[in-house]
Amino acid sequence: MADNNFWNGKRVTVTGGGGFLGSFVVDKLRARGVKDIFVPRSLDYDLVQPDEISRMLDDARPDIVIHIAALAGGIGLNRARPADLFYTNIMMGVPLMHQACERKIEKFVALGTVCAYPKFAPAPFHEDEIWEGYPEETNAPYGLAKKMLLVQAQAYRQQFGFNAIFLLPVNLYGPKDNFNPESSHVIPALIRKFVEAQERGDKHVQLWGDGSPTREFLYVEDAADGIILATEKYNGDEPVNLGSGHEISIKDLAELIGKLTGYSGEFVWDTSQPNGQPRRLLDVSRAEKYFGFRAATKFEDGLRKTIDWFREHRKVAVK
């Protein structure tokens, strides 16, 4: 249930508001009647620099900060740029929360990542198990950088009474996703690969790993709904998962996307490439209990919408 009164007169800053997830959050804020939404663009503010963060907050004067901006991507990007992923995400998040606390901003919403969970966490991942081991190696620098925002949020709440909450979204997908093969996640990567292979008439496509790992995916509009609901209703110190509760193997995912795109060739699995984390499935009960969030989009419906968007916006999507 929407709490439109919560937003009355609020000034809201959404970092990453021009990106994939952030653009949907901004749309949903507008639908809630929020008039004053500030989206800092990377051309105007380098949020890795503390002075630029300060200038941005001077310009925005927010009551609420929703921090979505991140450097993120699939296994390829995580292997190629682990230092960039660590430094950029630490330096965007930690000084931003610190300055928001210093300015006594009313609420700070920090987005973490499923990559923060231990490599061998028992599925479904429950929030209380987030410290029970080291993350999967290929995405550990990114996952740990984002997890520091949880430590910071809890420390600043304890010492300063600062209302910072920490959300853990699972892998997202949907329209406006990143379809660049150098940095994309698995769903957009497979969609682009199969659509282009079908057009060329390729008899087979090569895929990374052996197809055995499982993943959970959350449709981007559902994730945006979860963030809005948490902002309205949740004011606790515990991390909260945002997921769908639906698990699928990479092999089954590839076959499903192949079917939905109309590609009928052979899949060749390159086992010299990494699989990534063996399983990813979240316990999603806390989000429903604390702020009434439950994913609404059926997985196959969300995939169809994503494929349709890619075909329709191909020139933009492949840049």
Reading the chain (319 residues) residue by residue, the pLDDT tens digits are: 555 689 999 999 999 999 999 999 999 999 999 999 999 999 999 999 999 999 999 999 999 999 999 998 888 888 999 999 999 999 999 999 999 999 999 999 999 999 999 999 999 999 999 999 999 999 999 999 999 999 999 999 999 999 999 999 999 999 999 898 877 888 999 999 999 999 898 899 999 889 999 999 999 999 999 999 999 999 999 999 999 999 999 999 999 999 999 998 899 999 988 777 788 899 999 999 999 999 999 999 999 999 999 999 887 766 6
In a domain, residue 49? The reply is yes
Q: pLDDT per residue over 188-208, tens digit each? A: 999 999 999 998 988 999 998
In a domain, residue 52? The reply is yes
In a domain, residue 61? The reply is yes
With 0-12 / 13-18 / 19 or more C-beta atoms within 10 angstroms meaning exposed / middle / buried, residue 260 is middle
The pTM is what? 0.93
Q: How far is CA 315 from the centre of its chain?
A: 24
In a domain, residue 276? The reply is yes
Partners of 67 in beta bridges: 15, 110
In a domain, residue 1? The reply is no
In a domain, residue 136? The reply is yes
- Token pair in block for residue 119: 């490599």
Q: How many separate domains does the chain show?
A: 1
For residues 90 and 48, give the distance between their C-alpha atoms in angstroms, rounded to a whole number.
8
The answer for residues whose C-beta is within 8 angstroms of residue 196's C-beta and 6 or more apart is none
Distances (CA, A) of 41 to 16, 56, 146, 259: 8, 10, 20, 38
In a domain, residue 221? The reply is yes
Q: What is the CATH number of the domain that holds 251?
A: 3.40.50.720
For residues 304 and 285, give the distance between their C-alpha atoms in angstroms, rounded to a whole number.
27
User: Is the dihedral angle over the CA atoms 147, 245, 242, 172 positive or is it negative?
Assistant: positive
| Structural domain for 228, as ranges | 6-314
Any idea which residues carry the catalytic annotation? 142
In a domain, residue 45? The reply is yes
